[in-house]
């Protein structure tokens, strides 16, 4: 049973950051993690978690887009992580930086 990762995939730097981290996790843990973007909607999330051993939500900010979509799908995450709580500042004009990707990646090493 795979781990399901739900990311917010928003338009700000922290939303784009969660998406980039999702890609990296898939690359580093092939076959172990299934990734679903929140924008895929509640049905896609519910389908993905049907046989999951763990549901990990990676939100970018206090808007909690990934968590909200999981909730709409009736899914309770096993683990939640928010980029802004790790000290990354939300800025819609900012580009995602490598050190930010690394910080989030390090925080998700439990996957």
Residue-level pLDDT at 111: 59
**Where are the domains positioned within the chain?**
3-107
Q: What would the pLDDT profile of 35-57 be if each residue is shown by its tens digit? A: 999 999 999 999 999 989 999 99
Helical residues (DSSP H) of 5-97, grouped into ranges: 13-28, 42-49, 65-72
- CA–chain centroid gap for 15, Å, is 9
The predicted model scores a pTM of 0.90
CATH class assigned to 3-107: alpha beta
Dihedral (Cα; 25, 28, 30, 33), 10-degree rounding: -30
Which has the closest alpha carbon to 3: 60, 55, 64? Answer: 55
pLDDT per residue over 74-107, tens digit each? 999 999 999 999 999 999 888 999 899 989 988 8
Q: By three-state DSSP, how is residue 2 classified?
A: coil
């Amino acid at each position: 049973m795979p781990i399901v990762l739900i990311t917010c995939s928003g338009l700000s730097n922290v939303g784009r950051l969660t998406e980039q981290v999702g890609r990296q996790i898939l690359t580093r843990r092939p076959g172990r993690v299934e990734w679903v973007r929140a924008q895929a909607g509640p049905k896609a999330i519910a389908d993905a978690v049907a046989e999951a051993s763990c549901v990990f939500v990676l939100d970018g900010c206090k808007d909690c887009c990934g968590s909200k979509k999981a909730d709409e799908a009736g899914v309770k995450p096993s683990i939640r992580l928010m980029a802004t709580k790790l000290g990354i500042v939300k800025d819609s004009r900012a580009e995602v930086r490598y050190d930010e990707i690394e910080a989030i990646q390090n925080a998700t090493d439990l996957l």
